[in-house]
């Protein structure tokens, strides 16, 4: 929709820019494999951007974003553009593009051997960003102006856009001190050095004709931003005079007390998230009323896939318009659409009733346009029809939501405190398990999955297309499992896994075997780099019709005398990595999942499995952004894990896995889970987690990852030995497991074999050295 003096503006925060059929992923991976050139990759990217901008324009979006497209990660893009490139990636005669990818995923080829940069979860989502590294030596300069390039690219297509830039305060505070930084160095101290580069970038946009620029400052929804008032005032006082009109964008939460200084900043517009921060609306309207600031309302959720209730959205919009007027209100999505699939249009396996419940990125753009049109007083019959159709859809969904599974609800209501506790404390269980499992000192294991080869994916696709029978598929999977088991025996791993060749995804696989889920064919969202997932959708009460993993874990155990570890995804992670229901609490959904998993753990023990790993990589990710909200979350998140794992005997060893988050602030909560063994990402974050162990101690067994599996780079044996030695300088030697950072699903067999052989050899060295 085109907005003018008498109409309300509408806005879409765009991205996913990976293409409806993951064209960017395919092109990037083809480039890595040497199958296409850099020019061909650029051409493929241009086609995806063109399709995205055109689709938004066709759906009536008035303020179309540009500059948010990425080949790998938008924060990495910003680091590369601002010359925040660690020295280890320079001096290798690599192109700028290959330096960029080396920072994201590491590089080990043609005499170059550099690890990937650290990744971290993007706020409370399952998206991973590449963490910038800063020091006093950081030499900021504008290597290229990505926002300007894409603005001009869209302009050449006849599409006016609003460029998007990561703001200076968020850029610095989301980064970390580099290894060579001086003690006590804080990245925010570099603000005076980085602002001239921002001024150049923004001035160039203004000269090119950009009317607005969206400057993202998501850290404003964090408690820590309260200490940055002076820095915000300084930064935007410098930027505003040289910039196009600045729309300061916040999302994923509420401003709270930070609003007091944000409303005083010299910006033209402020975006707020009304999906995650609905209660802030009245306070924000009151704060901006005496200012000239335009208010952008994030009414349509950028985090879920449910069709927006337009009637409820209109109430919010009318509240703002009644106070500020049409010319000072923008209707938008709550955040970028990074976390949603591209379009529902290609889904043909959902029932018509199910399909009517959902709204993906392009459909959300239409919802934004319709809301803006109604608030502007549109008399267009198509707009009126869209509102009526939405009202009917919401009514039908509410009718479905009122149904429930009485047996499931009664079982949740019957949970008692004793169901959350193991029969004996860890010290007792440890002795029992030592005899039962008979593992050596510094036992070695993996996190669960082994490479998902092209052959495995092809076999699964053939089964889905009914080109092979269930029997043929199972025979194939048996051979894959046996291959994984024999490999682990041959190299000398101690606690084995079956490799998970039958699993498509660590959440989807379980959702497909539980009641209460539905699935998409093309509902892909980006997790990191070229890694995409299809989150299941929880639509009703969850229960387990029968065993989900017992068959393959039991088969694997029958092949070996070594102990086999059963592999499950935990209740909090299944919840957080699915699109949850919006009509009932997350607590209720999580407890239903926990009961289903409890039954599975019990059945695995009955089948002779001696260890079971219940992964909770999303436990920290699900933690609310504001500390005041932590306790209510932890009150159900921790018990749900314990409920899932506590129904077994002392002899069964429970494991859990965590990755890519800052755990130091909730480490006592991880201890309270009472898992016998936890494995946790450590190598990619410079082993900084060891400082947390030193601060808090850890009484149960633990396996800090000794190498990064998100990179194709193979760690040397000495490298792993050094990491083990660092761990043993802090951890008691009777508690240490030795394992990779994460599962091996995305890796190739060649690198997996070499890496694990080096890991096993390092463990043998440790047994001799620390005997």
Query: Cα dist. 171→175, 187, 193, 204, 263 in Å?
Result: 7, 9, 13, 20, 21
**Residue 609 pLDDT exceeds 80:** yes
Residue labelled with tokens 């932890």 = 634
**Residue 8 pLDDT exceeds 70:** no
Q: Which of 13-17, 645-649, 666-670 shows the lowest mean pLDDT across its residues? A: 13-17
What pLDDT score was predicted for residue 12?
58
State the average pLDDT for the chain.
94
**CA 523 and chain centroid, separation:** 15
What pLDDT score was predicted for residue 5?
30
Section 425-439 average pLDDT: 96
Say how far apart CA 120 and CA 527 lie, in whole Å: 11
Give the pLDDT band of residue 674 (cuts 50, 70, 90): very high
Say how far apart CA 278 and CA 493 lie, in whole Å: 51
- Tokens coding 9: 């503006």
**Residue 9 pLDDT exceeds 80:** no
Q: Is 590 one of the annotated binding-site residues?
A: no
**Residue 694 pLDDT exceeds 90:** no
Section 232-248 average pLDDT: 98
Section 110-134 average pLDDT: 94
Say how far apart CA 648 and CA 604 lie, in whole Å: 10
Q: Which of 29-38, 112-121, 147-156, 647-656 shows the lowest mean pLDDT across its residues? A: 112-121
Vertex 443: Cα angle to 706 and 659 (nearest 5): 40
- Residues 6 or more apart whose CB falls under 8 angstroms from that of 705 comprise 447, 659, 679, 680, 681, 682, 683, 684, 739, 740, 741, 742
Section 343-369 average pLDDT: 95
Of the candidates 272, 264, 266, the one whose C-alpha atom is nearest the C-alpha of residue 288 is 264
Of the candidates 372, 371, 356, the one whose C-alpha atom is nearest the C-alpha of residue 306 is 356
Q: Is 92 one of the annotated binding-site residues?
A: no
Of the candidates 226, 225, 239, 145, the one whose C-alpha atom is nearest the C-alpha of residue 192 is 239
Please name the helix (run of DSSP H) or strand (run of DSSP E) that holds residue 642, with its range, or none.
helix 630-645
Query: Cα dist. 504→90, 452, 535, 554 in Å?
Result: 38, 9, 11, 19
**Residue 435 pLDDT exceeds 80:** yes
What pLDDT score was predicted for residue 661?
57
Q: Which of 74, 128, 655, 710 is catalytic?
A: 710
Q: Is 657 one of the annotated binding-site residues?
A: yes
**Residue 634 pLDDT exceeds 90:** yes
**Residue 17 pLDDT exceeds 80:** no
Q: Is 474 one of the annotated binding-site residues?
A: no
What pLDDT score was predicted for residue 1?
24
Q: What is the percent of the chain with per-residue pLDDT over 70, rounded to a whole number?
A: 96
Q: What pLDDT, in 10s, does the model give residues 97-111?
A: 999 999 999 999 989
For this structure, is 271 an active site residue? no
Give the pLDDT band of residue 374 (cuts 50, 70, 90): very high
Q: Is 17 one of the annotated binding-site residues?
A: no
Question: Do residues 602 and 549 make contact, with C-beta atoms less than 8 angstroms apart?
Answer: no
What pLDDT score was predicted for residue 2?
25
Question: Do residues 707 and 719 make contact, with C-beta atoms less than 8 angstroms apart?
Answer: yes
Section 448-454 average pLDDT: 93
What pLDDT score was predicted for residue 3?
30
- Parallel, antiparallel, or unpaired: how do β-strands 112-114 and 294-300 relate? unpaired
Give the pLDDT band of residue 6 (cuts 50, 70, 90): very low
- Domains of the chain by start residue, with CATH: 9-16+45-69+77-83+120-402 (3.20.20.210), 407-770 (3.20.20.210)
Residue labelled with tokens 């998993």 = 597
Say how far apart CA 177 and CA 187 lie, in whole Å: 6
Section 291-319 average pLDDT: 98
What pLDDT score was predicted for residue 479?
97
Q: What is the percent of the chain with per-residue pLDDT over 90, rounded to a whole number?
A: 89
What pLDDT score was predicted for residue 668?
84
Q: Is 256 one of the annotated binding-site residues?
A: no
Say how far apart CA 622 and CA 669 lie, in whole Å: 13
Of the candidates 709, 571, 714, 760, the one whose C-alpha atom is nearest the C-alpha of residue 119 is 709
What pLDDT score was predicted for residue 514?
97
Q: Is 25 one of the annotated binding-site residues?
A: yes
Helix axes 749-769, 717-728, angle to 10 degrees: 50
Section 552-575 average pLDDT: 97
Give the pLDDT band of residue 18 (cuts 50, 70, 90): confident
Say how far apart CA 269 and CA 215 lie, in whole Å: 10
Section 322-343 average pLDDT: 96
Q: What pLDDT, in 10s, does the model give residues 474-493?
A: 999 999 999 999 999 999 99
Section 676-689 average pLDDT: 76
Q: Is 680 one of the annotated binding-site residues?
A: no
Section 257-276 average pLDDT: 98
Q: How many residues does the chain have?
A: 771
**Residue 462 pLDDT exceeds 60:** yes
**Residue 13 pLDDT exceeds 70:** no
**Residue 717 pLDDT exceeds 50:** yes
């Amino acid at each position: 929709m085109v907005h003018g003096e008498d109409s309300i503006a509408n806005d879409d925060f765009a991205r996913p820019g990976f293409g409806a059929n993951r064209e960017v992923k395919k092109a990037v991976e083809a480039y890595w494999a040497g199958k296409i050139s850099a020019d061909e990759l650029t051409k493929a990217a241009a086609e995806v951007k063109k399709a995205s901008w055109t689709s938004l324009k066709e759906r009536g979006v008035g303020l179309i974003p540009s500059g948010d497209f990425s080949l790998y990660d938008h924060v990495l893009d910003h680091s590369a553009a601002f010359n925040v490139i660690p020295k280890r990636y320079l001096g290798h005669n690599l192109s700028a593009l290959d330096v960029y990818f080396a920072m994201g995923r590491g590089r080990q080829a043609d005499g170059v051997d550099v690890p990937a940069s650290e990744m971290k979860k993007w706020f409370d989502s399952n998206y991973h960003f590449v963490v910038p590294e800063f020091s006093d030596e950081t030499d900021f300069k504008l290597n290229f102006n990505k926002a300007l390039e894409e603005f001009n690219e869209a302009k050449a297509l006849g599409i006016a856009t609003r460029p998007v830039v990561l703001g200076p305060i968020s850029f610095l505070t989301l980064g970390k001190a580099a290894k060579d930084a001086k003690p006590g160095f804080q990245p925010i101290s570099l603000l005076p050095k980085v602002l001239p580069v921002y001024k150049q970038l923004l001035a160039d946009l203004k000269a090119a004709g950009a009317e607005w620029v969206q400057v993202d400052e998501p850290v404003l929804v964090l408690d820590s931003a309260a200490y940055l008032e002076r820095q915000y005032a300084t930064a935007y006082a410098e930027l505003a005079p040289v910039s196009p009109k600045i729309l300061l964008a916040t999302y994923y939460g509420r401003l709270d007390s930070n609003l007091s200084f944000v409303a005083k900043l010299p910006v033209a517009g402020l975006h707020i998230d009304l999906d995650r921060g609905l209660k802030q609306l009245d306070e924000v309207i009151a704060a901006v009323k005496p200012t000239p600031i335009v208010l952008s309302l994030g009414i349509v959720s950028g985090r879920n896939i449910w069709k927006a209730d337009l009637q409820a959205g209109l109430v919010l919009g009318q509240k703002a318009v009644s106070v500020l007027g049409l010319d000072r209100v923008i209707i938008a999505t709550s955040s970028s659409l990074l976390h949603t699939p591209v379009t529902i249009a290609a889904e043909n396996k959902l029932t018509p009733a199910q399909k009517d419940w959902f709204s993906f990125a392009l459909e959300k753009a239409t919802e934004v346009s319709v809301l803006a049109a109604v608030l502007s007083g549109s008399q267009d019959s198509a707009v009126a029809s869209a509102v009526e159709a939405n009202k009917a859809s919401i009514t039908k969904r509410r009718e479905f939501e009122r149904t429930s599974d009485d047996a499931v609800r009664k079982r949740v209501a019957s949970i008692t405190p004793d169901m959350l506790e193991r029969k004996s404390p860890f010290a007792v269980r440890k002795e029992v398990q030592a005899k039962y499992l008979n593992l050596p000192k510094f036992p070695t294991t993996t996190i669960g999955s082994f490479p998902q080869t092209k052959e495995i994916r092809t076999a699964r696709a053939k089964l889905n297309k009914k080109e092979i029978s269930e029997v043929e598929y199972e025979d194939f999977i048996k051979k894959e499992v046996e291959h994984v088991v024999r490999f682990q025996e041959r190299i000398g791993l101690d606690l084995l896994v079956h490799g998970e060749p039958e699993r498509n995804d660590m959440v989807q696989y379980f959702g497909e075997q539980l009641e209460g889920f539905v699935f998409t064919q093309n509902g892909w969202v980006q997790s990191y780099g070229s890694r995409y997932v299809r989150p299941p959708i929880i639509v009703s009460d969850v229960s387990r019709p029968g065993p989900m993993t017992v068959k393959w874990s039991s088969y694997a155990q029958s092949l070996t005398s070594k102990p086999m570890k059963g592999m499950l995804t935990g209740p909090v992670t299944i919840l957080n990595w699915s699109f949850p229901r919006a009509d009932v609490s997350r607590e209720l959904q999580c407890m239903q999942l926990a009961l289903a998993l409890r039954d599975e753990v019990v059945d695995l023990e009955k089948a002779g499995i001696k260890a079971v790993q219940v992964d909770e990589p999303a436990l920290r990710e699900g933690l609310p952004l504001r500390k005041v909200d932590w306790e209510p979350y932890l009150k159900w998140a921790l018990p749900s894990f314990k409920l899932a794992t506590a129904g077994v005997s002392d002899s069964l060893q429970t494991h859990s896995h965590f990755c890519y988050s800052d755990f130091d602030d909730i480490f006592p909560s991880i201890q309270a889970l009472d898992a016998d063994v936890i494995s946790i990402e450590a190598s990619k974050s410079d082993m900084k987690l060891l400082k947390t162990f030193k601060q808090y101690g850890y009484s149960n067994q633990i396996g800090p990852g000794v190498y990064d599996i998100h990179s194709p780079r193979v760690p040397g044996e000495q490298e792993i030995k050094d990491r083990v030695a660092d761990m043993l300088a802090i951890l008691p030697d009777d508690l240490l497991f030795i394992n990779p950072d994460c599962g091996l699903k995305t890796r190739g067999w060649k690198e997996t074999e070499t890496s694990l052989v080096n890991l096993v050899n390092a463990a043998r060295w440790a047994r001799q050295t620390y005997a």
